[in-house]
A and B are shown apart, each in its own frame.
Chain A
Amino acid sequence: MAADSVAFVATKEIPPSPPPANSVGPVKWLRENLFSGPVNSILSVICVGFIVWMLASIIPWFLDSSWTPEEMSLKGCRAEASGACFAVIVERFWQFIFGFYPSDQYWRPTLAFVLLLVSIWPVLFSSAPRKLLMLTAVYPVLAFWLIWGGTIWGPIAVVAGVVVGAMIFMKGEDVFNSLIGDAFGPIVKIVVSVLAVVLWMMLLVVPIDSALSSVLDIGLEPVESAKLGGFMLSLIIGVTGIAASLPIGVALALGRQSKLFVVKTISVGFIEFIRGVPLITLLFVAHVLLNYFLPPGTEFDIILRVCIMVTLFASAYMAEVIRGGIAALPKGQYEAADAMGLTYWQAQRLIILPQALKISIPNIVSTFIGLFKDTTLVIVIGLLDPLGLAGTTRANAEWNGIFTELYLFIAVFFFIFCFGMSRYSMYLERKLATDHR
């Protein structure tokens, strides 16, 4: 081709020009996320308007707030500032945390809470020192003693009972085998060690406690249950329920999946009954009915009764969640366990439950969150949880008419705990994820 017939020949490469201004940076982001069409644009404008309106009403309320007015009352707040009256929180702060717990003893529940954090650390994070599990084992008794007080010998007697049971279980094999024979030795060993613990608790703890206390009276000032309240009460009920409902839930879930008709019927009946009634009715049972079903003259603590009912309630839900996890496992897992010659319990412990629990983590944690939120219901049987305390504060002449600040404070507390739990479950899911996706 002749050179003059070619109009233009590029001799060098043109450098790429930058993209148009409206398809980079914030402009691009705005176009794509907020103004991608007429409907979206209108919605975005409405949303911005809503947010601005919310902020415009909330921020001045916060800024023009009153924390320590001259006169500690709603009137005092209003005289000083037109916004929030946080003086009520300042005045009632310790009551909201501890209820009517004697103020010179505040260190006890605080120490119990710190120890709680230390003892759940090895359970939650595998990087923690394993030795701390010893603390976790004795923590329930320790916390009970710290919060309720009394002599130290009672809790020690309880721990001793468990130790005796464990000793019989671990060391007694040869004795039982030689006494009864190989065939029934192991079974008798289990029965005897359980019986020993039960009998110890029922017959020996009280005498040991009173005998040792009369000799050497070491202990803390006893605090009665009626004085417990506030967030401490929510945490006591919530943590007890969470810790106890998981093992019971696993047992019920296995019972429901069992091939044994009687075991299955009992489990299904229990689960469906508990899930069919509201927690309030169970709390009524704890409040007015439980005493009817115990031997005449039995007195037992209202908070303990509530903890038992909340635990039973949560364990039925837990059982359903874990059953879902078990049902989701492919049949091949069971067959493989059988093919390896594992017994039922070995198969459950080594093959089925680790996988089933892993699958059900999100739902287990949701159940925990639900349980923790449900601890507020104890207000209907007259316990002074934070909501109950807010009620008494509002009924007080000085604070009559206040509610936003109180309920905001309580809501923030529950939000922190519940949101924290759901974040932890996400962490756990990521950590335990073994499928490579």
Chain B
Amino acid sequence: MSVTAAPPSEGFRLSQLIYDTRYRGMTIQIVALFALMLAVGWLVSNAIANLEALGKDFNFSFLFATSGYDVNQRLLEYSSQSTHGRAAVMGILNTLVLAAAGCITATVIGVLAGVARLSKNWLIARLMTIYVEAFRNVPTLLWIIIVVAIVNETLPAPRDFRGVETGAFVFTNRGFYLPEPLFSRSLGDIDLTLLKISIDLLAVLAVVFAGLYVSKRIGSWADAKQAATGDRPTVVWYRLGIVFVPLIILLVALGFHLGYAELKGFNFKGGTFIRESFVGLWIALSLYTGAFIAENVRAGIQAISKGQTEAAYALGLQPGRTMSLVILPQALRVIVPVMISQYLNLTKNTSLAIAVGYMDATGTLGGITLNQTGREMETILLLMAFYLVVSLSISAVMNIYNERTKLKER
């Protein structure tokens, strides 16, 4: 084996750029980069030429101009005299509220349905299969429109409540009225020019979090005591008390009471108003995403081999402990990443709000603002940037989770 082939004596030939694996990668990359730059340059130059032909420019000053339209469900103060920028913020907040509410209910529904599909009870398993298939095979938008149509067409109009005694909850075909929390001895608001924050809310939050923190400290003190002496002091009442007693004292001190909606003129006044489009979107998106989460939960639990359960039983673990200590930690590794990507889908699906008139980011920024200002390029760019930021943040959370739960392979 002492004879080796002599290295090729010829110098560099042009054809090596294609046939020699040492250079081919570089050639391909340079060609790809060149093609990409050419394509982008072409698109940009077209865009510049077209904008010039229409006499438009590219700037975002419209965000500070008066919007002149109303946003029908808003979390912060807003009127038609506010700016387009503020309207966009209202829309973004509406999107986030809808997404957060949808994710919570979808998780609850999905986990329950997923476990129920594995139930030994034949009827429940079949009913859940019907639920999952019906929602997975029919478009989301159809479900959203159906739920909104049911609310619109079957519930009574506000004027039908004339002379009827209404309670805490009022369901009309324009939306639902829930009791609103009111404080008769309110501490007022902090005015930050852009938004007002209720001091009452801040006080309640501060008390709740302080209570939770102290309760946690008591819990870990009890753990330490148990570890040291073997006896666990009974602390559950202290832990509950430290959370609830100060909260109740604070609420009484602030004069907490619930305000009900009352019919005044043609519409209800007071109470917390939830538009029918929000209700429709919320229910439909939760049920739709819940069906997908149910499938993931089922697959996650089934992915754990039966040997794990048997091994846990052989070690003498109770069924409950088997589930919580052996099956769930392993199943969650499969379930959670898919669940998070379902949250991402739900968040993107909230943009369907525009079809039923809920003013989310797409409805304000990509809807009315776009139509009023005629700045298609800027508004759609902002809209895409917003969704990208949300999606990438959710993906980042997922990556962190995956990293933390990854199997440590040796």
Indicate if B315 sits at the interface (CB-CB under 8 A). Answer: no
B32 touches A379 (CB 8 A): no
A277 touches B137 (CB 8 A): no
Known A-B contacts A275-B391, A281-B387; A373 and B127 likewise in contact (beta carbons under 8 Å): no
B392 touches A280 (CB 8 A): no
Known A-B contacts A281-B387, A418-B137; A407 and B15 likewise in contact (beta carbons under 8 Å): no
In the complex, what distance in Å separates the CA atom of A320 from the CA atom of B1? 47
Find chain A residues with CB under 8 A from B310 CB.
none
The segment from B64-72, B175-183, B347-355 found at the interface with A is: B347-355
Q: Report the minimum CB–CB distance from A241 to chain B (whole Å).
A: 14
A281 touches B362 (CB 8 A): yes
Q: Report the minimum CB–CB distance from B398 to chain A (whole Å).
A: 12
B376 touches A369 (CB 8 A): no
- Pick from B18, B29, B140, B384: contact of A261, CB under 8 Å: B29
B391 touches A44 (CB 8 A): no
In the complex, what distance in Å separates the CA atom of A262 from the CA atom of B14? 22
- Of B29, B139, B362, B383, the most chain A CB neighbours within 10 A belong to B139
The segment from B78-86, B141-149, B211-219, B242-250 found at the interface with A is: B141-149
In the complex, what distance in Å separates the CA atom of A363 from the CA atom of B366? 31
A414 touches B377 (CB 8 A): no
A260 touches B139 (CB 8 A): no
Closest A residue to B14 by beta carbon equals A183
Closest A residue to B391 by beta carbon equals A276
Indicate if B228 sits at the interface (CB-CB under 8 A). Answer: no
**Scoring B residues 29 to 63 as 1 if CB is less than 8 Å from chain A, else 0, what string do you get?**
11011001000000100110111010000000000
In the complex, what distance in Å separates the CA atom of A281 from the CA atom of B30? 32
- Pick from A33, A284, A373: contact of B140, CB under 8 Å: A373
- Pick from A183, A407, A419: contact of B145, CB under 8 Å: A407
- Pick from A32, A34, A281: contact of B384, CB under 8 Å: A281
Indicate if B120 sits at the interface (CB-CB under 8 A). Answer: yes
Q: Report the minimum CB–CB distance from B353 to chain A (whole Å).
A: 9
A293 touches B43 (CB 8 A): yes
Q: Report the minimum CB–CB distance from B180 to chain A (whole Å).
A: 31
Main secondary structure of the interface of A (DSSP, over half): helix
In the complex, what distance in Å separates the CA atom of A401 from the CA atom of B32? 57
In the complex, what distance in Å separates the CA atom of A35 from the CA atom of B64? 66
Main secondary structure of the interface of B (DSSP, over half): helix
**Scoring B residues 101 to 143 as 1 if CB is less than 8 Å from chain A, else 0, what string do you get?**
0000000000000000000111110010000011011111110
- Pick from A285, A387, A394: contact of B141, CB under 8 Å: A387
A292 touches B29 (CB 8 A): no
B53 touches A373 (CB 8 A): no
- Pick from A43, A278, A295, A387: contact of B362, CB under 8 Å: A278
- Pick from A36, A187, A277: contact of B391, CB under 8 Å: A277
Known A-B contacts A276-B387, A278-B348, A376-B139; A296 and B50 likewise in contact (beta carbons under 8 Å): yes
Q: Report the minimum CB–CB distance from B340 to chain A (whole Å).
A: 13
Closest B residue to A255 by beta carbon equals B32
B142 touches A411 (CB 8 A): yes
A262 touches B354 (CB 8 A): no
B137 touches A414 (CB 8 A): yes
B46 touches A293 (CB 8 A): yes
Find chain B residues with CB under 8 A from A403 CB.
146, 149-150, 153
- Pick from A266, A294, A387, A390: contact of B46, CB under 8 Å: A294
B124 touches A47 (CB 8 A): yes
Find chain B residues with CB under 8 A from A296 CB.
46, 49-50, 53
Q: Report the minimum CB–CB distance from A176 to chain B (whole Å).
A: 14
In the complex, what distance in Å separates the CA atom of A279 from the CA atom of B345? 11
Closest B residue to A418 by beta carbon equals B137
**Scoring B residues 156 to 194 as 1 if CB is less than 8 Å from chain A, else 0, what string do you get?**
000000000000000000000000000000000000000
Residues 379-401 of A at the B interface (beta carbon under 8 Å)? 379-380, 387, 390, 394, 401
A260 touches B25 (CB 8 A): yes
Q: Report the minimum CB–CB distance from B338 to chain A (whole Å).
A: 11
Known A-B contacts A373-B140, A387-B141; A380 and B149 likewise in contact (beta carbons under 8 Å): no
Q: Report the minimum CB–CB distance from A359 to chain B (whole Å).
A: 15
**Scoring A residues 268 to 305 as 1 if CB is less than 8 Å from chain B, else 0, what string do you get?**
00001101111111001100110111111000000000
Known A-B contacts A33-B120, A184-B15, A403-B146; A418 and B138 likewise in contact (beta carbons under 8 Å): yes
B142 touches A414 (CB 8 A): yes
Indicate if B370 sits at the interface (CB-CB under 8 A). Answer: yes
Indicate if B408 sits at the interface (CB-CB under 8 A). Answer: no
Q: Report the minimum CB–CB distance from A367 to chain B (whole Å).
A: 12
Residues 396-432 of A at the B interface (beta carbon under 8 Å)? 401, 403, 407, 410-411, 414-415, 418-419, 422
A183 touches B19 (CB 8 A): yes
Indicate if A374 sits at the interface (CB-CB under 8 A). Answer: yes
In the complex, what distance in Å separates the CA atom of A293 from the CA atom of B122? 57
Indicate if B306 sits at the interface (CB-CB under 8 A). Answer: no
A380 touches B354 (CB 8 A): yes
Indicate if A48 sits at the interface (CB-CB under 8 A). Answer: yes
In the complex, what distance in Å separates the CA atom of A289 from the CA atom of B379? 11
In the complex, what distance in Å separates the CA atom of A262 from the CA atom of B15? 22
B123 touches A187 (CB 8 A): no
Indicate if A437 sits at the interface (CB-CB under 8 A). Answer: no
Indicate if A40 sits at the interface (CB-CB under 8 A). Answer: yes
Q: Report the minimum CB–CB distance from B112 to chain A (whole Å).
A: 12
Q: Report the minimum CB–CB distance from A208 to chain B (whole Å).
A: 26
Indicate if B404 sits at the interface (CB-CB under 8 A). Answer: no
Find chain B residues with CB under 8 A from A410 CB.
142
- Pick from A260, A262, A276: contact of B388, CB under 8 Å: A276
Closest B residue to A369 by beta carbon equals B137
In the complex, what distance in Å separates the CA atom of A261 from the CA atom of B26? 9
Find chain A residues with CB under 8 A from B30 CB.
262
Indicate if A171 sits at the interface (CB-CB under 8 A). Answer: no
A373 touches B138 (CB 8 A): yes
- Pick from B47, B121, B140: contact of A292, CB under 8 Å: B47
- Pick from A43, A291, A380: contact of B50, CB under 8 Å: A291
A273 touches B388 (CB 8 A): yes
In the complex, what distance in Å separates the CA atom of A266 from the CA atom of B34? 12
Find chain B residues with CB under 8 A from A50 CB.
127
Closest A residue to B383 by beta carbon equals A281
Find chain A residues with CB under 8 A from B370 CB.
284, 288
A379 touches B121 (CB 8 A): no
A407 touches B146 (CB 8 A): yes
In the complex, what distance in Å separates the CA atom of A296 from the CA atom of B48? 10
- Pick from B15, B142, B380: contact of A289, CB under 8 Å: B380
Query: What are some 15 contacts across the A-B interface (CB < 8 A)?
Result: A40-B121, A183-B18, A262-B30, A263-B28, A272-B392, A277-B387, A280-B366, A281-B362, A284-B380, A292-B50, A293-B43, A373-B137, A380-B354, A401-B153, A419-B133
Which 10 pairs of residues, A with B, have the shortest CB-CB distance?
Answer: A183-B15, A418-B137, A276-B391, A33-B122, A373-B139, A278-B351, A262-B29, A278-B348, A403-B149, A47-B123
Given A262-B36, A294-B46, 6 other A-B contacts at CB below 8 A? A43-B121, A44-B121, A51-B123, A51-B127, A285-B380, A410-B142
Give B residues with C-beta under 8 Å from A.
13-15, 18-19, 25, 28-30, 32-33, 36, 43, 46-47, 49-51, 53, 120-124, 127, 133-134, 136-142, 145-146, 149-150, 153, 348-349, 351-352, 354-355, 362, 366, 370, 376-377, 380, 383-384, 387-388, 391-392
Give A residues with C-beta under 8 Å from B.
32-34, 36, 40, 43-44, 47-48, 50-51, 183-184, 187, 259-263, 266, 272-273, 275-281, 284-285, 288-289, 291-296, 369, 373-374, 376-377, 379-380, 387, 390, 394, 401, 403, 407, 410-411, 414-415, 418-419, 422
